[in-house]
């Protein structure tokens, strides 16, 4: 089982959209995929049509008791092969409790370990805040995918995220390979083109050579979580990005 964290310390860069599109790409390739929503704002959960009321069981339960298993918390989706663990607003309070309750930080890793025979891939859709939830996701992850909006301000968010990844690598003493995915790319704007150039120059090996264009189809939750295969430029870009991530990882494994 491979665990991918989809993270960036900036909001609105396409983390949730990327999580959903990569998850369904893996599911379409025949993998058993679990998408775990770690964001208290629950965008992925809402996108899949899980109602906010009554509060769904999901990620919060993982932190409440070790007897709450991911396989029991996961729910089916319209996408064949893709299951979802829902997020709840109460996740936000974990960040505060985390400091005082020892062991809370290990809960996610333990739950993932217990689920390792049930899925081929688990994707962790992270919140934009650097706290207990994100650090735990990074600590448990085999790979880190960093969606990065192609605008000048987003480049700062990326630098913060890379520093955090390095910190996690040091503390867990295991590499965390990361992959940068340029998103929301608008080639008609000068700042978009320049930002993409800057990104490519500074992260040669780690950046996907393409870019996910802005595509209104990706804005429609019913479309991106629906049973029908995704169509359009955005979907095609995500399919290529997924292949690139998988191939880069295979090459690394061969080299090791």
Ligand X SMILES: Nc1ncnc2c1ncn2[C@@H]1O[C@H](COP(=O)(O)OP(=O)(O)O)[C@@H](O)[C@H]1O
Per CB under 5 A, 15 contacts Mg ion: yes
Interacting residue ranges for ligand X, rule: CB under 6 A: 11-17, 43, 183-184, 212, 214-215, 218-219, 234
Q: Using the minimum distance from each CB to Mg ion, give the nearer residue, 15 or 143.
A: 15
Per CB under 5 A, 8 contacts Mg ion: no
Site string for Mg ion, 24-63 (x = CB under 5 A): -------------------x--------------------
Per CB under 5 A, 17 contacts Mg ion: no
Give the separation between CA 256 and CA 246, rounded to whole angstroms.
16
Per CB under 5 A, 214 contacts Mg ion: no
Q: Using the minimum distance from each CB to Mg ion, give the nearer residue, 68 or 122.
A: 122
Closest separation in Å from C-beta 158 to ligand X: 12
Among 8, 9, 16, 77, binds Mg ion (CB under 5 A): 16
Q: Site residues (CB under 5 A) for Mg ion?
A: 15-16, 43
């Amino acid at each position: 089982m491979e665990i991918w964290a989809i993270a960036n310390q900036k909001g609105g860069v396409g983390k949730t959209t990327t999580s959903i599109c990569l998850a369904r790409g893996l599911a379409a390739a025949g993998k058993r995929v679990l998408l775990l929503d770690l964001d208290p704002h629950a965008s992925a959960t809402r996108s899949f049509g899980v109602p906010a009321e009554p509060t769904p069981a999901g990620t919060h339960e993982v932190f409440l008791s070790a007897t709450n298993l991911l396989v029991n918390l996961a729910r089916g989706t319209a996408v064949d092969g893709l299951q979802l663990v829902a997020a709840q607003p109460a996740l936000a309070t974990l960040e505060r409790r985390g400091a005082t309750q020892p062991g809370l930080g290990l809960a996610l890793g333990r739950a993932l370990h217990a689920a390792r025979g049930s899925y081929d891939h688990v994707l962790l859709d992270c919140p934009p805040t650097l706290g207990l939830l994100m650090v735990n996701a990074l600590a448990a992850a085999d790979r880190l995918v960093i969606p990065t909006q192609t605008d000048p301000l987003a480049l700062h968010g990326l630098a913060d995220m890379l520093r955090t990844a390095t910190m996690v690598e040091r503390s867990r003493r295991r590499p965390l390979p990361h992959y940068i995915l340029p998103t929301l790319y608008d080639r008609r704007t000068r700042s978009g083109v320049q930002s993409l150039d800057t990104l490519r120059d500074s992260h040669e090996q780690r950046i996907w050579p393409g870019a996910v264009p802005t595509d209104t189809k990706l804005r429609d939750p019913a479309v991106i979580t629906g049973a029908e295969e995704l169509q359009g430029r955005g979907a095609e870009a995500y399919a290529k990005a997924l292949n690139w991530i998988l191939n880069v990882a295979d090459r690394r494994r061969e080299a090791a």
